Amino acid sequence: MSFESLGLSHNIISSVKQLGYLKPFPIQEQGIPVILSGKDMMGVAQTGSGKTACFVMPILEKLQAEVVQRDRNIEVLILVPTRELAIQIDEVFRAFTTNLKREVRTMAVYGGVSINPQMKGMLGVEVLTATPGRLLDLINSKALSIGQIQHLVIDEADKMFQMGFEDELKQLFALMPKKKQTTLFSATLNDKIAEINKILAIDPIVIEIDSEDVHIDHIEQIAYHVTSETKGPFLRYLIKENKMNQVLVFVSSTRTADKLVDKLIKNKIRALSIHGQKSQGNRRDHLDYFKKGDVQVLVATDLIGRGIHIDALPVVINFELPRSPLDYVHRIGRTGRAHDTGLAITLLTDEDLQHFGVIQKKMGKSVEIKPTNEVNLHGY
């Protein structure tokens, strides 16, 4: 199956080539024709499946053929749970707008930064990627209107509810026109997702992509049995002994993230953290430094467990085990993306062993747990 056979024009295909995509991923193969046909769709797919390009390509394909007025009415609205995801999706839109028949303006808006530049930049924007709270603020300030949108995309719908955006979503839905195309993505299906479909009065075509199809098979998973005392030294041992130059370390809380970074720096390992209590600018900078290879270790909470792409990230370490099996999959999915291979290491104390059993069962894969009591941690 080729991109051409999905009904995409050469304007989009030339961007596909520039990005180096050789053939469509399963979600794209199945989803692009549905979106092009104008039908509502729900993709049950994990991050890393290629879902962003799955909606970006057909949306731009259709939009480029339209004559649109330069005003404050948005044509295409993408709702996302986090600022990072908003920025990332807008980047994908930009990558695909370069070769279109006409100029299409896109923008990402999110909280935690000044609203004024966003208000000023809104005129003529056709594709807006937004987090719900900031979008409502902008609408209330009359910076834009979603009253005439043609296409609504809700990305990571399940995460939206987990993060408590239910009220904002309902307010936003009430401001949208009844007639529009809706595309929804969620990693899981639950009652809340069914409720969205009811509120929006849609009966979407459901495309389910098995998480096995995504990339978990490309990830080598190892777990080490440690104690709470040896955990820190063992992490430093792993990083130093294996000369790890780019490793994403996951922890469960902001406090642990900051404490861990202090310890790593004291041990001459270049590290930064990224979590919800950092300012937006700070988070973006830290992620940039890490992507560029200026820092060796990025310590993150689950805030960036989803949706963030770091090119060819070789290693992810779970310093603390997440509670949800889905978060575990999302975390380790930061490596091995787009069919690269990757390594995911998990550190387990006695208290984690039972829960790790549950995670392995849910994931449908068993992971070898190696002892560490023979490892000489002296000097770490």
- Please report, as ranges, the residues that interact with ligand AMP according to CB under 6 A: 21, 24-25, 28, 47-53, 309, 337-338
Structure tokens at 119: 């208000």
> Is the CB of 88 or the CB of 372 nearer to ligand AMP?
88
Q: How far is the CB of 7 from ligand AMP (least distance, A)?
A: 15
Nearer to ligand AMP (CB atom), residue 132 or residue 333? 333
Which of residues 53 and 78 has its CB atom nearest to ligand AMP in the complex?
53
For the bound state, the minimum distance from the C-beta of residue 20 to ligand AMP, rounded and expressed in Å, comes to 7
Integer Cα distance of 202 and 184 in angstroms: 11
Q: How far is the CB of 129 from ligand AMP (least distance, A)?
A: 13
**Residue pair 43/51 in contact by the 8 Å Cβ criterion:** yes
Residue whose entry in the numeric block shows the structure tokens 């057909």: 58
Q: In this complex, which beta carbon is closest to ligand AMP, that of residue 89 or of residue 146? A: 89
By C-beta, is 6 or 271 nearer to ligand AMP?
6
The minimum distance between CB 336 and ligand AMP, in angstroms, equals 11
Q: CA 358, CA 363: separation in Å to the nearest integer? A: 9
271-274: long-range contacts at Cβ-Cβ below 8 A with a sequence spacing of 24 or more?
271/295, 271/296, 271/297, 271/298, 271/299, 272/297, 272/298, 272/299, 273/298, 273/299, 273/300, 274/298, 274/299, 274/300, 274/301, 274/303, 274/304
Separation of alpha carbons 171 and 162, rounded Å: 17
Q: For ligand AMP, which is the closer residue by CB, 155 or 320?
A: 155
The answer to whether 150 and 111 have CB atoms below 8 angstroms apart is no
What is the closest distance, in whole angstroms, from the C-beta atom of residue 342 to ligand AMP in the complex? Answer: 13
| Minimum CB distance to ligand AMP, residue 293 (Å) | 17
The enclosing H or E element of 146 equals none
CA distance 15 to 100: 9
CA 167 to CA 160: how far, in whole Å?
10
